[in-house]
Amino acid sequence: PEEALVIFTPSGKRGRFPVGTPVLTAARQLGVDLDSVCGGRGICSKCQVTPQFGEFPKHGVTVTEDALSGWNAVEQRYDRIRGLREGRRLGCQAKVEGDVVIDVPPESQVHRQVVRKAADDREIVMDPATHLHFVEVAEPDMHEPSGDFDRLVRALREQWEVEEATAPLSVLAKLQPALRKGNWQVTVALWRGTEGPARVLDVWPGFHEGRIYGLAIDVGSTTIAAHLTDLRNGTVKASAGVMNPQIRFGEDLMSRVSYAMMNPGGDREMTRAVRSAIDGLAKSLAEEAGIAARDIVEMVFVCNPVMHHLLLGIDPVELGQAPFALATGSSLDLEAKELGLTEVNEAARVYVLPLIAGHVGADAAAVALAERPDQSEDLSLVVDVGTNAEILLGNRTRVLACSSPTGPAFEGAQISSGQRAAPGAIERVQIDPNTKEPRFRVIGVSLWSDQPGFAEAVAGTGVTGICGSGIIEAVAEMRMAGLLDTGGLIGSAEQTGTARCEPTGRTHSYLLHDGTANDGPRISVTQGDIRAIQLAKSALYAGARLLMDEMGVDKVDRVTLAGAFGAHISPKHAMVLGMIPDVPLDHVRSAGNAAGTGARIALCSVAARREVEALVKHIHKVETAIEPRFQEHFVAANAIPHASDPFPNLRE
């Protein structure tokens, strides 16, 4: 038979095919990434391509208008009902008649690259575990009796190359009515792991127009953050964070472990609390995005070890004492049902990222997946700032990790006027070194407090408190304005020359905002606040230094600040405070919520799950809790910025 040359762009893949071959078939044979949910039946329209006509000297072909067959009845009907965009063809219907160049637009590629964030040039390649497949199932035959599900599996094998598949009862119960209603055609949500049988998560009669979604969830000690993501293209449809309700059992990890130790059944109480918060989050995110929670078919979790065990319903008592043995550190493939999560699809799958060690959790693994320090030429330090700081140091040769108990001060907790980052919270602070007068900005208002119009702009929320980034800037600015000595002691009005330094008991505090003008609270930085910040930053710095010791270096090339609020920390202030080691300021960058990003990457890509599983095996963890040098570094780091380490980059 006559053959024609088919060239696909942008991949550049090419091959010769007998005249009459459908474009989708040619694409499949060449391994071109061209989507199809209906398997070439002209129903799903995911296989759209744009044929190119004219001269293509680069490819050495001339493509004439009749290089593809004309519209057939399927395309005509599709165009009549749904409208086919100008120049587009359905790849499963258009047949090759002559040499042709065919462009596959991004929305027709399954494994297209999705830009993660505007500020970040790295991309995720979509490779989700769950896909929708349209299947035609044989009708039952009395002479060859077989179950409807068995025939569905046979159809999946023939039409989608699925070796073996299983289904939970929830799907089996829906299958028979769906098959009959859909006239022996159904759409299934099919989850495929790397090995083992595939699993049918849901079934709809006929061709299902809807989409399927996943939740990427970062369970932190203080906050649970989740992103509702479209599993087809990786788009985040809604994001939200809620307080971790376990806070009422203890502010930090160790106090929650002791709660479990002291109170019989305490671990189960905390497990119930966190699971119901996750259920609530799933429900409200689905509402916000205007989707049915049933369409959430996958969840990916990252958490620190204590949160991990409590989420899974494992008593965390072993994590409270050396040798800090985990029940398991491996990644887990589970069902949402096993975790008692009931808002999402009945058959929804759960993937839990692997942990690095007893104190270094899946959150650190997720940060590693998002930041890939193991791919960096430079020695890069990544700190994920939270109630517990996750710290990674590494380059192509070696990656080290530790976790450091900073406490919740960086999140605005344990601070006298502290609050969560929300409208009304002071987030930026400057103090004039001459007059010692402060100016500040609050979340939700774009003006500084001394600019005209500020009072009106802030009238809605008022100035309600100070959040993590605000307190970091306030303390660093106080140091730079000479209101604090290196030991962190606030001077008196006489010593500092400003009446804003007021006596408070036996110490002093600095008045940042006198609320009388707008009936708000007085906001001061107290000596206690400074101490809380010193403890937090010393823990962070000591963790980083311990890793540097282990690596045998006394400086790093780059610093990445990550964490739910890491994006808002000013690098200069972080360094003035001595939160991070000395490095040129333009080598410090913010990565936003890297653990959350890592969770999203794992949600969108099975390959990324395998990558992080391999990656954690290469990360060497350093235990801060039992390392005497940690204490030494901690004490020396109490001074602002530091008792002995030089900070040459601060001089500029």
The three-state secondary structure class of 402 is strand
Give the Cβ contact number of residue 70 at 10 Å.
Answer: 12
CA 172, CA 177: separation in Å to the nearest integer? 10
Nearer of residues 45 and 417 to ligand FES, judged by Cβ: 45
Nearer of residues 24 and 583 to ligand FES, judged by Cβ: 24
Instruction: Find tokens 């022996």 and name the residue.
Output: 184
Nearer of residues 149 and 184 to ligand FES, judged by Cβ: 184
Residue nearest to ligand FES (CB): 92
Nearer of residues 121 and 161 to ligand FES, judged by Cβ: 161
Least spacing, CB of residue 64 vs ligand FES, in Å: 24
Nearer of residues 78 and 259 to ligand FES, judged by Cβ: 78
End-to-end CA, the chain? 76
Cβ–Cβ under 8 Å, residues 517 and 561: no
CA 32, CA 427: separation in Å to the nearest integer? 49
- Backbone phi and psi for residue 491, each to the nearest 5 degrees, phi listed first: -75, 165
Nearer of residues 41 and 237 to ligand FES, judged by Cβ: 41
Least spacing, CB of residue 39 vs ligand FES, in Å: 6
Beta-bridged to residue 215, according to DSSP, are: 228, 299
Nearer of residues 77 and 610 to ligand FES, judged by Cβ: 77
Nearer of residues 26 and 475 to ligand FES, judged by Cβ: 26
Least spacing, CB of residue 67 vs ligand FES, in Å: 19
Least spacing, CB of residue 50 vs ligand FES, in Å: 14
Give the β-pairing of 349-352 and 3-9.
Answer: unpaired
Length of the chain in terms of residues written:
652
Least spacing, CB of residue 17 vs ligand FES, in Å: 17
Please report, as ranges, the residues that interact with ligand FES according to CB under 6 A: 24, 36-38, 40-47, 90-92
CA 475, CA 460: separation in Å to the nearest integer? 27
- 592-615 in b/e form (b: 16+ CB < 10 A) is bbbbbbbbbbbbbbbebbebbbeb
Least spacing, CB of residue 86 vs ligand FES, in Å: 18
CA 524, CA 500: separation in Å to the nearest integer? 9
Angle ∠(425,431,437) on CA atoms, nearest 5: 100
Give the β-pairing of 185-191 and 213-219.
Answer: unpaired
Indicate the helix (H) or strand (E) that contains 630.
helix 628-636
Least spacing, CB of residue 227 vs ligand FES, in Å: 29
Least spacing, CB of residue 155 vs ligand FES, in Å: 16
